[in-house]
Structure 1
Amino acid sequence: MSQPPYRSQQTRPPAVAGLFYPAEPARLRADVESMLTGARADADAAPTPPAALIVPHAGYVYSGPTAALAWARAESLRGRVRRVVLLGPAHRMGVRALALPGHRAMDTPLGPVTVEVPAQIEALASSSLVVARPDVHAAEHSLEVQLPFLLTVLPEASVVPLAVGRVDADRVAEAIRPFLGGSDTLVVVSSDLSHYLPQAEARRVDDATIERILALRADISPDEACGATCINALLLAAGEQGLGPRLLGTATSADTIGTPERVVGYGAIAFDAPAAP
């Protein structure tokens, strides 16, 4: 990949503000703070800050409280983490690579988040594993909906936003390994779970999926999670480093305002470094 796409001075405008989350800054900030407050009240004491998170990415009225359970765990990293490597599925545009937006920043109603392209990611362009594709990011929500939480919890952090297309999980893991467990980096995988099943069936499917995630089994299918490739890549890398997954909470869209006849499942999972001997 050539240098200019990495260093574009353009800012990606928000695509789903007013749809997936409020477009008015004061309301958005109040909603995010309220969800984080609720998550803190429900949280168990955590022995260590997370090295990675799995976070849902639906509209805030559906999955926001579950997403907050994960982002609240990241608050202990404030002042330490300077970048978030953020991976999510490319829903709208096909790409056989990990796509960067080709912009210097990604804007939100709360302000912009600086886009960083570390040398480890730039090096992956030589094999075309990483490409600059503004069109892939233009209408994509899976990464964007995480940014208001990121700005609130880790306001000084930059983002490495990778929209993951049709790529094998072991190749995607190449983009995670250099950062996972680093003292200055948090890895975040953005993914929902099952889609459009009846509530009882969704619970059954999601429980089985989460059981395999907690066992570090990198065999999640796209029917079980829209970000299955990202999750599997994280599980491969986490297993190599001995990270321990920890379930923070689950829900479906019917637990908020959705209908129980056709739900989407959500899970928040943290990956903690192994305890010192």
Structure 2
Amino acid sequence: MSHVRRPVVAGLFYPGHPEVLRRSLDALLQARPLLGSPPRAMVLPPRSQARAGEAIASACTLLQGCASQLRRVYLVAESPYTGHDDAPHFDGHGHFQTPLGRLAVDQQRVAELVDELGGFTDDKAHDLEHRLEAPLPYLQRTLHRFRLVPALLPVGAARAATRLLQGALNDDEGLLIVVDQPESTLARRLEAEAATRRLTCQPVTEAEHGRPLALSFYP
């Protein structure tokens, strides 16, 4: 079994050529000002660069100011590939691959969460699901030394979702990213948990219709 999770949407959601991808991301990120404090959590849409690149870049650009503080990025999404249990499905690969290089998985933290939450590793689901891959190139251009904690949830797994979100938000050296639409059930669970912690929600809205495309939560 491979220890690297290979990209499945390179060339579809974002350019597959490393230099083209680098230039396109830098153009998106450099067009946005570095203002405010870094977020504790974000909701990013599982969309292509063509459809949501500006919104994702707007949310991610503030991460450039906290690159030295973050050791882990928790990537969480719902997926139909996990089945119907109420437990998180963690990635068991050692790395995630993108055209910009490999990102290491924090296997120690994954093992801790498997024990704490009753979850398990499920490489097959992660190989099939593209959602967690979508924001990776943006993170590679804004952060530097960090490890991934990738987790997929069965659709509607309320208990597992709540416990996983709480565990990620309790990590002072971690950033939580929910990869879903802002109006999704999982995003609303994060909003509710953020409200109990008195985090401020800031939407990134669509220019044409004013609909939120991404959310950031600040202390």
TM-score (normalizing by structure 1)? 0.71
Please state how far the C-alpha of 1:178 moved relative to its aligned partner: 2.7
Q: Where in structure 2 are the equivalents of 1:119-134 lying within 5 Å?
A: 120-125=112-117, 127=118, 130-134=119-123
Q: Where in structure 2 are the equivalents of 1:104-253 lying within 5 Å?
A: 104-117=94-107, 118=109, 120-125=112-117, 127=118, 130-180=119-169, 182-192=171-181, 224-225=183-184, 228-229=185-186, 231-250=187-206
Matched residue, 2:29: 36
Structure 2 residue ranges without an equivalent (≥5) = none
Contact 1:170 1:233 survives alignment (8 Å)? no
Q: C-alpha distance in 2, partners of 1:95/1:72?
A: 36
Please state how far the C-alpha of 1:93 moved relative to its aligned partner: 5.3
Cα deviation per residue 1:130-178 (whole Å; 9 max; x = unaligned)? 2211121113221101111111111211111112213433431211223
Q: C-alpha distance in 1, partners of 2:70/2:24?
A: 24
| Comparing 172-181 and 103-112, the one that deviates more | 172-181
| Comparing 77-86 and 135-144, the one that deviates more | 135-144
Name the SS of the counterpart of 2:148 in structure 1.
Answer: strand
| Larger gyration radius, structure 1 or structure 2 | 1
Matched residue, 1:53: 42
The reply on whether 1:14 has 2:7 as its aligned counterpart is yes
Q: C-alpha distance in 1, partners of 2:157/2:127?
A: 23
Q: Where in structure 2 are the equivalents of 1:80-119 lying within 5 Å?
A: 80-92=69-81, 94-96=83-85, 97-117=87-107, 118=109
Q: 1:112 to 1:133 in 2, by over 3 A?
A: same
Contact 2:44 2:214 survives alignment (8 Å)? yes
Name the SS of the counterpart of 1:163 in structure 2.
Answer: strand
Which protein, 1 or 2, shows the higher relative CO under an 8 Å CA cutoff with sep ≥ 6? 2
Please state how far the C-alpha of 1:239 moved relative to its aligned partner: 2.1
Please state how far the C-alpha of 1:106 moved relative to its aligned partner: 0.6
Matched residue, 1:79: 68
TM-score (normalizing by structure 2)? 0.88
Name the SS of the counterpart of 2:131 in structure 1.
Answer: coil
Q: C-alpha distance in 2, partners of 1:115/1:95?
A: 25
May I ask how many residue pairs the two structures share in their alignment?
A: 216
RMSD: 2.4
Matched residue, 2:16: 23
2:55 is aligned, of 61, 66, 73, to 66
